[in-house]
Amino acid sequence: MLTKNNFFVEVGSFQKSKEGMGSPGDVFYSSRTEDGQRTICILADGLGSGIKANVLATLTSTMAMNYIKSDIDVKRASEIIMATLPVCSFRKVGYSTFTIVDVNSEGRVRIIEYDNPCCLLLRNGSKVELERSSHKIDAGSAGERELKYASFNAVKGDKLFFCSDGVTQSGMGTQAMPLGWTSQGAEEYITTQLSRYESVSARKLARRIVERALKNDGNKAKDDISAAVISFRHPRRTLVITGPPYNQSNDGLLASKFEEFSGRKLICGGTTARIIARQTGRDVKIDLSWTDPYIPPASKMEGAELVTEGTVTLSRALELLKSKGEIEPPAKNPAEKLVEYLLESDSIHFIVGTKINEAHQDPNLPASLDIRRNMLREIVDTLNNKHLKSSTMELI
């Protein structure tokens, strides 16, 4: 989401399940409202681990997302959630804790916390103390519960971090960390990471935090470990060009759009790369850095950070974007590298040539059935709705 202050709200998260559990007991949801004016993130931590914890955390995060999107009073929404959740007969507490972060287009951030570790706001490399207010709510059979509320106006460069207790309690009981990593330990680690890698993306920072917490546990997670980061930054722009223009007379226009773009430039398609190379006087050379039996090799061309084959690579990239799994670095083929670049970007513009490739499809079929065009529409939709990017598509 691009705010009216002209900075992008980037959301990144990463998660590891408790050792031996197939399903995580933590659930992270992020969504943008239909009008594009708000970005909402929810991290719920179900009591215990495994399937039961996952179901209850999913129930919590789904209800919270629907209520917050509908602009129901946050206090009333919290009461409904807390009253709905089952209560542990032994511990007498609700089955899920949660953190809700709501960012609007003005850069105003609202935070609602229930029993998760407190959010951490870093500005210019230093912690900003958030002013929190506590409210008692009636949680039905669970009795009275306390929620914490905070709000602030974000500025460019801010980073907001929140996590489940699997992060702050990692390493607990070890000689080095008898009381666990603690919020202070996590804060020191994050501050160090930002001082070393100032431009690190929210995705990469969340991953590093979880991997460090996992290391604290001896690389066998004692609890579900989840971390989320919201970064308020100048948008990182990427251009993706794929497919030759419908009219050959537009080859020069395509090349000029490539030349004039300010940001990262990617090309998907051998014919597309040859057109731009011919129009700009550059060479295209095969790149055998990756050897994958299923994905065609990439190429190299001055001015482009990545040049790949077209339809096969894009199809695999779409599968990866839709999947829940993370790509383990380093990228093992051109499709994974393409996805890595897309997820590291904020504003992505696709220029899609509409000339049909006879090798892929009968040219007599209607244009609406064009494989490449439909695939790119799906990629744009997935980037915008699943990964909260700002993606657009232009036909040529």
Least confident of 82-86, 202-206, 351-355: 82-86
Overall average pLDDT of the 218-241 stretch: 97
Least confident of 42-56, 152-166, 199-213: 42-56
Q: Which residue has the tokens 């002013």?
A: 131
d(CA 291, CA 281): 28
d(CA 231, CA 179): 29
Amino acid in position 110: R
Q: Does the structure show a pLDDT above 70 at 366?
A: no
Residue 150 banded pLDDT, cuts 50, 70, 90: very high
Q: Does the structure show a pLDDT above 60 at 11?
A: yes
Instruction: Give just the sign of the alpha carbon dihedral 330, 320, 205, 6.
Output: positive
Residue 368 banded pLDDT, cuts 50, 70, 90: very low
Chain center to CA of 245: 32
| Nearby residues of 21 by Cβ (< 8 Å), 6 or more positions away | 49, 50, 224
Going along the chain from its start, the domains and CATH numbers come out as 8-233 (3.60.40.10), 237-395 (no CATH)
CA Rg, the chain, in Å?
A: 23
pLDDT per residue over 54-105, tens digit each? 988 998 999 999 988 988 877 777 778 777 776 666 555 557 899 999 999 9
Q: Which residue has the tokens 């602009």?
A: 71
Question: What pLDDT does 350 receive?
Answer: 98
CA-based max dimension of the chain = 74
pTM (two decimals): 0.91
- Tell me the HSE value of 128 on the side-chain side, using a 13 A CA sphere: 18
Residue 325 banded pLDDT, cuts 50, 70, 90: low
